[in-house]
């Protein structure tokens, strides 16, 4: 693939409930609550900061999950060649990301806003390239995903994609994503 798919790509550019969540979190701080705050500006900065915090390669995140698979660990341990391409059957993978944003207002100490982005993906036709017990890349096949962004157990955004046959290949920087040893 020429363009990397980022975790931030699962979210819209603006998340309406983000400013309200920050306001509620800051309301517990007496000094911050008394400040005159331009919430429109704060919200736009929060949207940008959240997208920055989620600016990571989504396939690298998924590869971390695949590298923990007992089946893939066993396969990698039994490999007789230095590299191979492995086709995984249809499967689902769920990962959680925990982006955090620190907000500072005037003389108040920073307040950390911790979010959860839960991603559930379904794959079919996925092929992984393995070399020296590392996932080095692959072919995505057909993928569908859902994502839920939450703050303090309150859902801020949900999305669901249809199944897409993703073209091309993905690659990871050398040496790749390490496959955990089989035990």
* pLDDT tens column, 76-106: 888 888 899 999 989 999 999 999 988 877 7
Per-residue pLDDT averaged across 130-140, rounded?
A: 94
* pLDDT tens column, 18-77: 777 777 766 665 555 555 566 667 777 888 899 999 999 999 999 999 999 988 998 888
**DSSP per residue over the chain, as a string?**
--SPPBGGGGS-S--THHHHHHHHHHTTSHHHHTS---HHHHHHHHHHHHHHHT-SBHHHHHHHHHTT-HHHHHHHHH--SSEEEEE--SEEEEEEE--EEEE--TTSPPEEEEEEEEEEEEEES-EEEEETTEEEEEE-EEEEEEEEEEETTEEEEEEEPPPEEE-S-EE-STT-EEPPPP-
> How many other β-carbons are positioned within 10 Å of the β-carbon of residue 180?
14
Domain regions of the chain by residue span: 7-178
Task: With a cut of 70, say whether residue 12 has pLDDT above it.
Answer: yes
Which tokens sit at 24? 């509620």
Please state the pTM of the whole predicted model: 0.84
Give the Cα-Cα-Cα angle 55, 62, 183 (nearest 5 degrees).
Answer: 135
């Amino acid at each position: 693939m020429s363009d990397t798919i980022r975790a931030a790509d699962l979210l819209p550019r603006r998340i309406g409930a983000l400013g309200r969540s920050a306001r509620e979190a800051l309301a517990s701080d007496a000094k911050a609550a008394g400040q005159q705050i331009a919430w429109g500006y704060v919200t736009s900065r929060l949207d940008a900061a959240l997208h920055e915090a989620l600016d990571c390669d989504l396939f690298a995140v998924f590869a971390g999950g695949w590298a923990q698979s007992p089946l893939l660990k066993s396969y990698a341990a039994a490999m007789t060649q230095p590299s191979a391409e492995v086709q995984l059957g249809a499967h689902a993978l769920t990962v959680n990301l925990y982006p955090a944003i620190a907000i500072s207002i005037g003389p108040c100490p920073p307040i950390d806003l911790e979010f959860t982005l839960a991603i559930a993906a379904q794959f079919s036709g996925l092929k992984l390239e393995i070399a020296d017990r590392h996932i080095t890349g692959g072919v995505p096949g057909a993928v569908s995903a859902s994502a839920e962004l939450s703050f303090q157990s309150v859902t801020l955004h949900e999305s669901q994609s249809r199944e897409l046959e993703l073209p091309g290949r993905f690659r990871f920087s050398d040496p790749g994503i390490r496959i955990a040893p089989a035990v």
